[in-house]
């Protein structure tokens, strides 16, 4: 069952499983916003028994109204990428605002506080996100010590070890090997996580790049990697919620 609610100023797409609830799961969208693809991902995790909250963290930025499927695909098309990138930088200006990150983490904490109080979740909530959502999965793990797990797909994490020590849950991170901007920084991230004594596992998939899980983008999607990440994420969440 799906419904749309509002938590503070944040619209949230909610998917309730038909059977028993294994726990709560926050699913954070890509930089394109709460698209049909992300709603489908939320439904897929709900079908596995999770009560899913998918917040729309860009609802008041104006970005979603200007994003088209063609723009997303052109960004991953080698023949169109250079033409699209200046348009994209202009479009994404609102998320570079000085207070955006702080306000977004606060919104996520509000979403967490409502979800963790939902009946039958046993006060257990994890977070999972893609791209922009992968970055904010790291950020929420730092800000919310009651999370049971975090699963960032191709997200940035630039915090130092002192900040990372605030993480109290295990993390499973996914990357595509051709996503040079992130993979080149992965050894340093692994070292910082190790120094901070965080339970951090990373999985890098060959022959794919950024957004390999997005089956709505033919230029980015890699079925083999996406299917494997899907299974690994479910196993990881199952272990985290049962511990």
State both tokens at 112: 């967490």
Q: What is the pLDDT of residue 211?
A: 96
How far is the C-alpha of 139 from the C-alpha of 153, rounded, in Å?
13
CB 216 within 8 A of CB 35: yes
CATH class as words, domain 2-66+101-242:
alpha beta
State both tokens at 99: 């207070």
Residues in the chain: 243
Strand partners, 23: 50
Q: Is 89 helix (H, G, I), strand (E, B) or coil?
A: helix
Q: What is the pLDDT of residue 198?
A: 98
Q: pTM for the complete prediction? A: 0.95
**DSSP classification of residue 95:** G
Q: What is the pLDDT of residue 64?
A: 80
Q: What is the pLDDT of residue 78?
A: 78
Q: How far is CA 231 from the centre of its chain?
A: 16
Each residue's pLDDT, cut to its tens digit, for the chain (243 residues) gives: 999 999 999 999 999 999 899 999 999 999 999 999 999 999 999 999 999 999 999 998 888 877 777 777 777 787 777 777 777 777 788 898 889 999 999 999 999 999 999 999 999 999 999 999 999 999 999 999 999 999 999 999 999 999 999 999 999 999 999 999 999 999 999 999 999 999 999 999 999 999 999 999 999 999 999 999 999 999 999 999 998
Domain boundaries, the chain: 2-66+101-242
Element (H, E) at 150: strand 149-153
């Amino acid at each position: 069952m799906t419904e749309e609610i509002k938590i503070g100023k944040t619209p949230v797409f909610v998917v309730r499983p038909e059977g028993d609830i294994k726990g709560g799961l926050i699913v954070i969208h890509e930089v394109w916003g709460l698209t049909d693809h992300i709603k489908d991902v939320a439904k897929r995790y709900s079908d596995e028994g999770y009560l899913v909250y998918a917040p729309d963290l860009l609802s008041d930025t104006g970005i979603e109204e200007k994003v088209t499927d063609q723009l997303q695909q052109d960004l991953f098309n080698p023949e169109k990428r250079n033409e699209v990138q200046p348009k994209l930088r202009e479009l994404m200006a609102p998320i570079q605002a000085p207070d955006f990150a702080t306000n977004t983490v606060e919104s996520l904490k509000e979403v967490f506080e409502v979800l963790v109080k939902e009946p039958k979740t046993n006060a257990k909530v994890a977070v999972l996100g893609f791209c922009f959502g992968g970055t904010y999965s790291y950020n929420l793990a730092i800000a919310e010590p009651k999370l049971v797990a975090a699963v960032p797909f191709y997200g940035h994490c630039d915090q130092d070890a002192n900040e990372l020590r605030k993480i109290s849950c295990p993390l499973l991170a996914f990357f595509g090997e051709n996503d040079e901007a992130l993979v080149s920084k992965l050894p340093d991230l692994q070292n910082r996580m190790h120094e901070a004594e965080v339970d951090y596992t990373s999985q890098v998939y060959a022959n794919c790049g950024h957004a390999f899980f997005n089956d709505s983008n033919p230029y980015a999607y890699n079925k083999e990697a996406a299917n494997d990440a899907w299974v690994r994420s479910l196993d990881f969440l199952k272990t985290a919620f049962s511990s």
